[in-house]
Structure 1
């Protein structure tokens, strides 16, 4: 049964509140190309949108962020829920975030990476670019650490040898995104 189908009793109440969001969600589901099927997209987007509403109030933008995170994570062969946890800890979903050491965007990418790959003109505040960099870097460290999430996260954060950051991400993943 679809999560978007309501009983006649609940339809009257939810139509006044959720009609616009329901339309946006249906459009996002139809456009989501990184899911196995439409039902998977619907379930995932509904569940994660409810959690992400704490950080991103505007429904269109929230659904676009979820779709882009899912796409980038799947391309990098990472669990999208884990990427959401990293973003929660790194930037609280602020695409304009800049750390005190200069890391930029939702996944807090250090600008030196642009020089390392010869793409000086890349905009790390751009969500798609930021997610591509972040997911690729995280996957590289996860492979380097033979699947050890704590060590991979410590490398990603530049705190290898300490696991304070890793524990924050893993706790966010367990509490909010799984």
Structure 2
């Protein structure tokens, strides 16, 4: 019996990741060299606020429909995340924070999840050869540009996801909404195909109706 379309899509996504060499070594951080550039006041304020936050953020879900959508998304993503994060409470906190920060930045949930998978394989303390840190592989100069420059702050869950999401949003705005070019800029490889293709392929594994 032929495979369902969604199964074929997932297989194709995995094949594209493998072809790029990102599936063979899932515990390697694949960050490039982000380029330091001037930030607007709004971007600096958003990054500074994350450094000051200590507790996991609480998603704003004013309606029953939104609460149900969030619960369904958590239920769908948590089992997939289990191969990377074994503890249920850790997965819940991660997904809760990612939902909050992605929604806050106006980003697709699956896009952010795909980026985290490619960048760090969901490792909180990942460090790339370029010196990028954490889940979304944020370069230390971002911390220096808005605060005391303490690189260890970039391993804090909300700080890392806030920085990563705000930076990606900033690049999307710079690129006029072009996801391919924004991802290349995020990775420090603007205009080159391998990194954006890898993230977009990984994104397909996290697609959900509430995305």
- TM (normalized to structure 2)? 0.66
1:162 to 182, 192, 199: 192
> Deviation per CA, 1:156-176, whole angstroms, max 9, x where unpaired?
000012021000000000133
RCO higher in 1 or 2 (8 Å CA, sep ≥ 6)? Answer: 2
Corresponding residue for 1:133?
A: 163
1:167-178 paired onto structure 2 within 5 Å: 167-178=197-208
- Rg bigger for which structure? 1
The offset of 1:98, in angstroms, is 0.3
Structure 1 position 68 matched with structure 2 position 100:
no
Instruction: Give aligned pairs, total.
Output: 148
Structural mapping, 1:66-145, within 5 Å: 66-121=95-150, 123-145=153-175
Q: Deviation at 1:41? A: 1.4
Distance, in Å, in 2 between the alignment partners of 1:133 and 1:108 is 10
- For 2:200 and 2:148, the matched residues in 1 are separated by 31
Instruction: Give me the whole-angstrom Cα distance separating, in 2, the residues matched to 1:119 and 1:51.
Output: 36
TM-score by length of 1: 0.78
Whole-angstrom CA distance in 2 between matches of 1:32 and 1:73: 13
Label 1:34 to 1:157 Cα distance change in 2 as closer, same or farther (>3 A): farther
More helix by share: 1
Aligned residue for 1:98, secondary structure, equals: coil
State how far apart, in whole Å, the 2-side matches of 1:174 and 1:94 are. Answer: 20
Aligned 8 A contact 2:171 2:182 in 1: yes
Distance 1:164 1:74 in 2: 26
Kindly state the Cα deviation for residue 154 of structure 1 after the two structures are TM-superposed: 0.2
Aligned-partner Cα distance in 2 for 1:92–1:177:
17
CA RMSD of aligned residues (A): 1.6
1:32 deviates by 4.9
Q: Within 2, Cα distance between the matches of 1:42 and 1:94? A: 24
